Amino acid sequence: MRVIQVITYYGYRDGSGEYYIVVDAEKCNSCGDCIKVCPQKALIMESMFIDLEDKLVAAVAEEHRKKIRYTCSPCKPESGRVPCVQACDQEAITCIWNPMNRK
Amino acid sequence: MGNKEGKTEYWRWLEYQSIMSNIELNSAEIITAGVDVGSVGSKAVIMADGEVYSWSVMRTGSNSSDSANKALEWAMEDTGLTLKDFNYIVGTGYGRVNVPMANRAITEIACHAKGANYIWGASVRTVLDVGGQDVKAIRCDQNGKVVSFLMNDKCAAGTGRGMEVIADLLKIPIEEVGEVSLSVSKEPEPVSSTCVVFAKTEAIGLLRKGWSKEKVLAAYMRAMSIRMSELIEKVGCEREFVITGGQSKNIGIVQRVEKILGVKSLTAPNVEETGRDPVAAGAIGAALYAKALYEKSHKV
């Protein structure tokens, strides 16, 4: 069976650049370590519907999805550490931060 | 177009219900429904053995549960169906947790991809869903399964609700804005803000400066289209590319997005003849998943 990654991008792109928290649902093992370390309490476990099954996957909580620029600003990767990415053993969470990249 | 105060409501779009008379309901084995309660529109689709039988598209009211009920009741009108006849009902959309008669809820992302797969076929790889209050770019496989998707982090900006506000401001009926916006001889610079509140202020300023309504509309739609295209670029625009949701009817948006991305979107099939309505893509996907979930639980 071919495994297809289900990848979710939470973030924004504007004049300051692009910033995304990217979650790979196939890699996520629902352990919840990322939730514990998020200083903004922005992450939750959310049920995702994949191949007619429900799987708990790390996700940015609904109330933070439209203000990620503020929620995640203390953890921009240039600070050298993004807690949620570091906490994930499965490498299911990545962070994209390209300042001023308008492409 | 007028209401009882005699004021024309330019934003008000046509609500509709339709039944496919060529489908024999009595011989159907599995009857399912998908109810998509969006922030602006509520859609209900009834399927007989996985084919669209009837559907409704109406405005969402202040209460999600009421809207869900009304949309499904309208789709059931003149079909002879009662709630007991449904094998499975799936709720989706912004108000999905408030669909009272649903057996379960599924995110609209999964439903839109599935619905687009049904409407246009297995070749669809990229779906741009332009809803009332947000825009989603979805990549899917040949079975309509989501591969990746991107949610924008902005407000009602550049979406259906924003379009309604601008239509009302410019006094152009919402069904005509696409056509009107394409009547400009030269495409103007986009407005700098796609935020509904700021864009309205900006549009008023441009009108005062002597811009024509058509030009202001084109500038607004250009800004919307650029934003939507940026979203798509992040997930990658693999063909075939389609647009679902209310704005799929807005040729001013469709043509501009196509031009920016350099990709033609697939044209919708004849909605009256096939029941494959891009506006109801989420509800279609929900009804299809309802059938799949029913079959799974009953091992038909």
B113 and B29, same domain (yes or no): yes
pTM, two decimal places: 0.91
Name which residue leads in pLDDT, B256 or A14: B256
Cβ-defined contact of A18 to B234 (cutoff 8 Å): yes
Looking at the DSSP bridge assignments, the partners of residue B43 are B36, B57
Residues of A within 8 A of B153 (CB-CB) are: 10-12, 65-69
B219 and B201, same domain (yes or no): yes
DSSP state of B267: P
Question: How far is it, in rounded angstroms, from Cα B115 to Cα B75?
Answer: 17
* Spatial CA neighbour of B109 closest among B245, B227, B236: B245
Domain positions in chain A: 7-99
pLDDT at B1 over 50: no
Look at residue B9 and tell me if it is in a domain. Answer: no
Position A28, amino acid = C
> A9 — contact with chain B (CB < 8 Å)?
yes
Mean per-residue pLDDT for B261-284?
Answer: 94
Q: Tell me the shortest Cα–Cα distance from B141 to chain A, in angstroms.
A: 9
B167 and B52, same domain (yes or no): no
B94 and B144, same domain (yes or no): no
B154 and B100, same domain (yes or no): no
Question: Which CATH number applies to A7-99: 2.60.40.2310, 3.30.70.20, 3.40.630.10, 3.40.640.10?
Answer: 3.30.70.20
Looking at the DSSP bridge assignments, the partners of residue B148 are A7, B139
- Nearest CB partner across the interface for B147, out of A6, A65, A66: A6
Give helix B281-298 / helix B108-120 axis angle, nearest 10°. Answer: 100
**pLDDT tens for residues B137-157?**
999 999 999 999 887 666 555
Phi-psi region of B37 (alpha: psi -120 to 50; beta: other; left: phi over 0): beta
Specify the pLDDT at position B154.
Answer: 60
What pLDDT band is residue B175 in, cutting at 50, 70 and 90? Answer: very high
B206 and B105, same domain (yes or no): no
Mean per-residue pLDDT for B244-264?
Answer: 94
Among A residues 25-84, those touching chain B with beta carbons less than 8 Å apart = 48-52, 65-69
Look at residue B110 and tell me if it is in a domain. Answer: yes
Look at residue B134 and tell me if it is in a domain. Answer: yes
DSSP state of B103: S
Specify the pLDDT at position A56.
Answer: 94
Question: How far is it, in rounded angstroms, from Cα B287 to Cα B89?
Answer: 7
> A10 — contact with chain B (CB < 8 Å)?
yes
What pLDDT band is residue A1 in, cutting at 50, 70 and 90? Answer: very low
Q: What is the dihedral of CA B166, B169, B175, B181, to 10 degrees?
A: -60
Look at residue B1 and tell me if it is in a domain. Answer: no
B111 and B149, same domain (yes or no): no
Specify the pLDDT at position B268.
Answer: 87
* Spatial CA neighbour of B150 closest among A55, A51, A40, A21: A21
* Spatial CA neighbour of B248 closest among B287, B216, B277, B215: B277
- Nearest CB partner across the interface for B150, out of A9, A48, A49: A9
% of residues, chain B, pLDDT over 90:
73
* ipTM of the complex, rounded to two decimals: 0.81
Other CB atoms within 10 Å distance of the CB of residue A57: 22
Q: What is residue B292's three-state secondary structure?
A: helix
Q: What is the CA radius of gyration of chain A?
A: 14
- Nearest CB partner across the interface for A8, out of B145, B149, B153: B149
The number of domains in chain B is 2
Specify the pLDDT at position B198.
Answer: 78
Distances (CA, A) of B181 to A2, B46, B112, B184: 45, 35, 27, 6
Look at residue B221 and tell me if it is in a domain. Answer: yes
Cβ-defined contact of A12 to B150 (cutoff 8 Å): no
B289 and B192, same domain (yes or no): no
Mean per-residue pLDDT for A13-27?
Answer: 88
What pLDDT band is residue B234 in, cutting at 50, 70 and 90? Answer: confident
- Nearest CB partner across the interface for A66, out of B106, B148, B155: B155
Look at residue B71 and tell me if it is in a domain. Answer: yes
Look at residue B41 and tell me if it is in a domain. Answer: yes
CATH number of the structural domain spanning residue B58: 3.30.420.40
Number of cross-chain residue pairs from A and B with Cβ atoms under 8 Å apart: 53
B interface test, pick of A6, A23, A101 with most B CB neighbours within 10 Å? A6
B287 and B251, same domain (yes or no): no
Name which residue leads in pLDDT, B8 or B20: B20
* Spatial CA neighbour of B255 closest among B238, B272, B267, B269: B267
* Spatial CA neighbour of B224 closest among B166, B300, B170: B166
Mean per-residue pLDDT for A64-83?
Answer: 85
Residue the block writes with tokens 């239509």: B167
Q: Are B126 and B111 in contact (CB under 8 A)?
A: no
A interface test, pick of B125, B135, B153, B161 with most A CB neighbours within 10 Å? B153
Angle (nearest 5°) at CA A33 between A72 and B136: 50
Is the peptide bond prior to B240 cis by the omega test (within 30 degrees of 0)? Answer: yes
Helix-strand-coil split of chain B, %, nearest 5: 40, 20, 40
Look at residue B10 and tell me if it is in a domain. Answer: no
Q: Are B258 and B105 in contact (CB under 8 A)?
A: no
Q: Which residue segment(s) compose the domain that B227 sits in?
A: 129-261
B34 and B88, same domain (yes or no): yes
* Spatial CA neighbour of B116 closest among B298, B285, B299: B285
Q: Tell me the shortest Cα–Cα distance from A86 to chain B, in angstroms.
A: 22
Angle (nearest 5°) at CA B237 between B233 and B241: 135
- The per-residue DSSP string of A26-51 comes to TT-----HHHHH-TT--EEEEEEEET
Cβ-defined contact of A9 to B289 (cutoff 8 Å): no
